[in-house]
Amino acid sequence: MAPISIQTVLISESVDPRCRAILEENGIRVTEKQNMTEAELIADIKNYDGLVVRSATKVTAAVINAADNLKIIGRAGTGVDNVDVEAATRKSIIVMNTPSGNTISAAELTCALLMSLSRHVPQAAMSMKQGKWDRKKFMGAELYGKVLGIVGLGRIGKEVASRMQSFGMKTIGYDPITPPEVTASWGVLQMSLEELWPQCDYITVHTPLMPSTVGLLNDETFGKCKRGVKVVNCARGGIIDEAALLRALESGQCGGAGLDVFVEEPPKNRSLIDHPNVISCPHLGASTKEAQARCGMDIAVQIVEMVKGKNLVGAVNAQVLANTFSQESQQLIKLGEAVGAVLKSCIASNAPPSHVEISTKGIDRASWKSNSNSHELPLQVNQSHYASDGAAEGVCKVEITASSGRHNAVGSVRGGVAVLLQLNDSRFRQPISLSGNLLFFKASADPQLLTSLAGKRIKEAYFQSFSGPENHTGDQWFCVGLSALLKDVSALKPLVNDAAQLSI
């Protein structure tokens, strides 16, 4: 991995002091400035190779376009919606975050808001400070036995579920990516949003902010909820439409809201905050000593490891890497993507794998690791590396466990080209160039097989290449390069036992 030179870093927010210390121990000059306006940032940013932010710094396209020397934007935290990632990618600037450092803290605050909503703790505490002793006004309701709808079942959603289950809440949820069988294993029954809305006593949202999640709770969806539903937003302002929430609070359709985040921070419009049934915090989800220590340390270590060419963790725009790193690294990145695509095509269902095992032999480990952006999926990823055994080229083996079973692939780079050497334990006689339209199938090594396939089953495409297995005992995997993908791969079924196709 070609080292990236980072000599100067601007930390533009209050980040744990360990971040600065780690960067400086590694020879990076650090400047800390807080509360910079966009104009100040635009004027200053050209002086830095790296920028470390939290959620308050808006790293707009204008800032990025003025950043002549910037190579990395480090987010000491999770959400990168305050960074124009597209503009950064266009300028080959890596954006990285530390998504697991504040999970527990954000989950705990969510639970605190759910509990406060059920027992009016903040309002009662305020009335005590005003000298009152009002035992009637703050009559609450137990969480025990109530239904909690969790929209977004990633890191934080999962932690909220397990904590609220200990209060006896029934947890249901929705997530378009996390498979229902995975969430069922942590006690969350998944269903469509249409089914979820009318069942919930409480709803909490834990999705990123993106076009598909803006206004998930709006006038229409509030209308589908139980009257008096209570809602929590510790994710991002706007996932619950603020105007619709105010209307629902005023009509009584919503019985209370716990808000940590707002569309505008700090919010100029105080109508939600001032509503008697709203309890709110100034974006405190990640504001604990522990979360800040983890995120501050993690982002500094990630930057240092990247500078030293040791490792690359947390990049959210991995495509930048192809422009940033050496030719060798680019080839390995292509190999990683291609092997991943082959294995993905082998998974019968759309459900992502639950477990990935990556082992590399004789390959520059740092280059290989740059491809593992597994934090975006609920995946368990294990990686191991072995020194070269003397063979000219290194190899990588990837094994995945999915609902359709276990699959493995072994690949390498030969003459600058990503090739597949082995699929599901069948070793190919000729390395398969991982490009174009590829059809993989499992069959017994019958000399007539290809003729039968070409004649009877594959009419719409012609064969461009073929590689069979070294071993001819039992069922083995074959690969055919095709002029076009087949319209219906299942038409091969009578001749082959298993088949998958993809375009690379």
Q: Which amino acids are annotated catalytic?
A: 236, 265, 283
Q: What is the DSSP letter of 355?
A: E
Q: Binding to ligand HPV by residue 286, rule CB under 6 A? A: yes
Please identify, among the stretches 73-81, 274-282, 368-376, 460-468, the one whose residues bind ligand HPV according to the rule CB under 6 A. 73-81
CB of residue 240 to ligand HPV, shortest distance in Å: 15
The reply on whether position 76 binds ligand NAI by CB under 6 A is no
- 89: number of Cβ within 10 Å: 18
> Could you tell me the two tokens for 459?
């009419």
> How many binding residues for ligand NAI (CB under 6 A)?
32
CA-to-CA separations, 429 to 122, 318, 390, 500, in angstroms, rounded? 70, 33, 21, 19
Residue 421 engages ligand NAI in binding (rule: CB under 6 A): no
In the complex, what is the shortest distance from the CB of residue 288 to ligand NAI, in angstroms, rounded to a whole number?
A: 10
Contact indicator for 239, 209 with CB cutoff of 8 Å:
yes
- CB of 101 or CB of 255, closer to ligand HPV: 101
CA 75, CA 96: separation in Å to the nearest integer? 6
Encoded amino acid at 183, one letter: T
- Examine residue 260 and tell whether it contacts ligand NAI (CB under 6 A): yes
DSSP labels for 388-435? --S-SS-EEEEEEEETTEEEEEEEEEETTEEEEEEETTEEEEEEEE--
The token pair that represents 205 in the structure block: 């949202």
Cα–Cα dist 416/224, whole Å: 57
Residue 77 in the binding site for ligand HPV (CB under 6 A): yes
375 binds ligand HPV (CB under 6 A): no
Q: Which residues contact 160 (CB under 8 A, 6 or more apart)?
A: 107, 110, 111, 148, 150, 204, 206
**Which one of residues 4, 20, 51, 54 is an interface residue with ligand HPV (CB under 6 A)?**
54
By CB under 6 A, which span of 23-31, 228-236, 328-336, 382-390 interacts with ligand NAI? 228-236
Q: Does 79 bind ligand HPV (CB under 6 A)?
A: yes
Q: Is 55 in the site for ligand HPV (CB under 6 A)?
A: yes
Q: Please give the Cα distance from 398 to 418 (Å, whole number).
A: 14
Rounded Cα distance between 56 and 48, Å, is: 19
Q: Which of 71, 120, 146, 155 binds ligand NAI (CB under 6 A)?
A: 155
Among 285, 336, 340, 468, binds ligand HPV (CB under 6 A): 285
* Residue 206 binds which of ligand HPV, ligand NAI, none (CB < 5-8 A, kind-dependent): ligand NAI
Q: Which is nearer to ligand NAI, 4 or 286 (CB)?
A: 286
- The verdict on 331 binding ligand HPV (CB under 6 A) reads no
CB of 211 to ligand HPV, least distance (A): 18
Q: Does 99 participate in binding ligand NAI (rule CB under 6 A)?
A: yes
- What is the greatest pairwise CA distance in the chain? 92
Partner in contact with 151, chosen from ligand HPV, ligand NAI, none, beta carbon below 5 to 8 Å by kind: ligand NAI
Q: List Cβ neighbours of 98 (8 Å cut-off, separation of 6 or more).
A: 75, 76, 77, 78, 294, 295, 298, 299, 302, 314
Q: Which residue stretch of 156-164, 285-293, 323-331, 353-361 sits at the interface with ligand HPV (rule: CB under 6 A)? A: 285-293
Q: Is the preceding peptide bond at 266 cis, omega within 30 degrees of 0?
A: yes
Query: According to the binding rule CB under 6 A, does residue 8 interact with ligand HPV?
Result: no
Strands, DSSP E only, in 162-306? Answer: 170-174, 189-190, 202-205, 229-233, 254-259, 278-280
> Is there binding between residue 280 and ligand HPV (CB under 6 A)?
no
* Residue 256 or 285 having the CB closest to ligand NAI: 285
Q: Does 208 bind ligand NAI (CB under 6 A)?
A: yes
Which residues pair with residue 480 across a beta bridge?
439, 466
Considering CB distances under 5 to 8 angstroms, the limit depending on partner class, which of ligand HPV, ligand NAI, none binds residue 253?
none
Residue 177 binds which one of ligand HPV, ligand NAI, none, with CB within 5 to 8 A depending on kind?
Answer: ligand NAI
Write the CB contacts of 315 (distance below 8 Å, at least 6 apart in sequence).
Answer: 94, 95, 96, 321, 370, 373
Q: Which residues bind ligand HPV (CB under 6 A)?
A: 54-56, 77-79, 102, 283, 285-287
